[in-house]
Chain A
Amino acid sequence: MIVAKRKPLQEIKDMLKPYQKILVLGCGSCVAVCMAGGEKEAGLLTTELQMAFELDKDKKQIDTLTILRQCDREYIDEVKEKLNQYDAILSIACGVGVQFTAEVLGGAKVLLPGLNTTFLGATIEPGTWMERCLACGDCILDETGGICPITMCSKSLMNGPCGGHEKGKCEVDRNRDCGWVLIYERLKKLGKLELLKTIKLPKNYGAVKRPDKIIHEAYQPVTVKEVKDSQK
Chain B
Amino acid sequence: MEFEPKIMAFCCQFCAYSAADLAGSMRLQYPPNVRIVRLLCTGKVDPLHLLRAFQEGWDGVFVAGCLEGECHFLAGNLHAKQWINYTKKLLKELGIEPERLEMFNMSAAMGTKFADTVKEMTERIKKLGPSPLRRDVKDSH
Which residue numbers of A lie inside 8 Å of B, CB to CB? 8-10, 40, 43-44, 47-48, 50-52, 54-55
Contact = CB atoms under 8 A, between A and B. Distances in A.
A149 B52 CA distance: 46
Interface residues of B, number: 14
Interface in B19-45: none
B93 A51 contact: no
B94 A52 contact: yes
A48 B90 contact: yes
Contacts, number: 34
Contact of B51 (A8, A40, A47, A55): A47
A10 B133 CA distance: 18
A9 B93 CA distance: 7
What is the predominant secondary structure among interface residues of chain B facing chain A?
helix
A44 B48 contact: yes
A75 B49 CA distance: 29
B132 interface: yes
Interface of B: 46-48, 51-52, 54-55, 90, 93-96, 132-133
Contacts of A43: 48
Nearest to A10: B93
Nearest to B135: A54
A192 B46 CA distance: 48
Given A9-B93, A9-B94, A51 B133 contact: yes
A200 to B, nearest CB: 43
A43 B52 CA distance: 10
Contacts of B94: 9, 48, 51-52, 55
B133 A55 contact: yes
23 contacts: A8-B93, A9-B93, A10-B93, A40-B46, A40-B48, A44-B47, A44-B48, A44-B51, A44-B90, A47-B48, A47-B52, A47-B55, A48-B51, A48-B90, A48-B93, A50-B55, A51-B51, A51-B54, A51-B55, A51-B94, A51-B133, A55-B95, A55-B96
Given A48-B90, A55-B94, 10 more contacts: A9-B94, A40-B46, A43-B48, A44-B47, A44-B51, A47-B48, A47-B51, A47-B55, A54-B133, A55-B132
